[in-house]
Amino acid sequence: MKLHIHRYDLRLANTFTITHESRDVQPTIIVGLEDEQGKVGWGEATAVPYYGQSQDKLVQTLEKHRLLIEETPLESPEQYWAALYAAFRDHPFEHCAIDIAANDLYGKQRGQALYEIWGLEIDQLPLTNYTIGMADIPEMVRKIKAKPWPLYKIKLGTDHDLEIIQALREATDAGFRVDANTGWTAEQTIALAPALKKLGVEFLEQPLPAKAWESQKKVFEHSVLPLMADESCQTEGDVARCQGYFHGINIKLVKCGGLTPARRMIAEAHRCGLKVMVGCMTESSVGISAIAHLLPLLDYVDMDGALLLAEDIATGVSIEQGKVSYADRPGTGAELI
C-alpha cells in the first residue's frame, strides 16, 4: 500500500468554547491508504492541544512508521490494527487515522459498507445531538435559535450553569444533554442534578476530573441523573473501571485508537451493563462517516463535528435534524472534495 498524508485547517462556523479552550480553527490530518488497484481508504485524526497533539507531531509519527504502514498486508482491519499496535501503542490519534483508513479501504475492496461487513441493521439508529459551546447566555440562545434541532449537548462549567439551562429551556423544548468537561465538583453535581432533570436534561457527561474516582463514586450514589464517562474512559482498559462509577461511557475514536478497538470497547461496555455513546471531535465528514457505522450498536451518539464547520473538506454521511443518512458508497462512504 501507499500512504498519503494531508493537512487541513478546518474553519468553524462559530467560535467553539469548552472549559479547556476556545477555538475558531481546528487543525486536522487526513490519511489515505492506497492499494495496488488505486482504491484509497480515508482516515482522520484531529490535532487537539488538550491531548498534546499537533499536526507536526501526528505527521512525524506517521512518517516515522511509513515503511511499516505501507508494507504490512491488509488481510483484515483487525489483523492490520494488531500488526501496527506495538509501534502505535502510545500514539492512538495516529493509529485511529490509519485504522479508519484501513477499514474504509477494506470496505471498498469488497464493495460493501462497513455496517454491512459487520452484519448490522440500520433501521433503528439513535439521533445525534448538536453541541452548543460555552458563551454568554444571549449568544448560546442565539445559537439554539439559529440551529433548530431535536437534541442538544450543552457545554457547561461556569458559575452560572443552572441559569444557562433555564435560559436555553425558554428558547426550545428540545432534549438536553450536559457536558461539564471535568468542570464541576461532586457537591455541585449532586446539587444541580435535580433542577437539571426538571429542565429536561437527559444525562451528565464527565462532571468531575478524570481521576477523581472517590468523588465520582459519591456522585454515582447520589445523582438523580445518569452519568457518562468521557475523560475517565479513553482506552479499552478503562471500560470495566467505570462500572459502579458511571452509568455509561462515551468513546472517542482518536483516544482509543480507531474503529477496531472502539468495537471491542462497545462489546465490553455491554457486558458490564453500561450504556454506550460514541462522541466526536470537531472533525470533517471523514471521521464523522466512520462513527456512523457504529450507530446500530449505540444508545447515544454525538457526531455533529462536521456540522460545526464553516466548510467541510469531504462528503459522506449526511445529517438532518439529528437523523443520519448513509452515502451510497462502500467503506465508510467518505470521499475528499
What distance in Å separates the CA atoms of residue 224 and residue 203, rounded to the nearest whole number?
A: 9
* Contact status, residue 42 vs residue 336, Cβ threshold 8 Å: yes
* pLDDT of residue 313 exceeding 80: yes
pTM for the model: 0.96
Q: Are 180 and 172 in contact (CB under 8 A)?
A: no
Q: pLDDT tens digit string along 98-134?
A: 999 999 999 999 999 999 999 999 999 999 999 999 9
CA-to-CA distance for 45 and 37, rounded, in angstroms?
25
Q: Give the residue from 2, 111, 48 showing the smallest Cα distance to 330.
A: 111
Q: With a cut of 70, say whether residue 19 has pLDDT above it.
A: no
Using the Cα atoms of residue 230, residue 236, residue 241 and residue 245 in order, give the sign of their dihedral: positive
Mean pLDDT in residue range 28-57: 97
- Per-residue pLDDT reduced to its tens digit, 164-210: 999 999 999 999 999 999 999 999 999 999 999 999 999 999 999 99
What pLDDT was estimated at residue 7?
98
Give the Å distances, CA to CA, from 51 to 1, 21, 206, 257. Answer: 29, 12, 16, 13
The helix (run of H) or strand (run of E) holding residue 195 is: helix 186-198
Q: Average pLDDT, whole number, for the chain?
A: 97
In this predicted model, which residue has the larger pLDDT, 23 or 245?
A: 245
| Strands 275-279 vs 300-301: parallel, antiparallel or unpaired | parallel
* Helix axes 92-110 and 285-292, enclosed angle (nearest 10): 70
What does CATH list as the number for 117-336? 3.20.20.120
Give SS3 for 17: strand
Q: How far apart are CA 83 and CA 52, in angstroms?
A: 25
For residues 247-266, average pLDDT: 98
Q: Report the alpha-carbon distance of residue 74 to residue 37 in Å, rounded.
A: 14
Please say if the pLDDT value at position 16 is more than 90. Answer: no
275/278 Cα distance (integer angstroms):
10
Specify whether domain 2-111 bears CATH 3.40.50.150: no
Domain boundaries, the chain: 2-111, 117-336
Q: End-to-end alpha-carbon separation of the chain, Å? A: 22
What DSSP string describes 43-107? EEEE--GGGT--HHHHHHHHHHTHHHHHHS--S-HHHHHHHHHHHHTT-HHHHHHHHHHHHHHHH
Helix (H), strand (E) counts: the chain = 12, 15
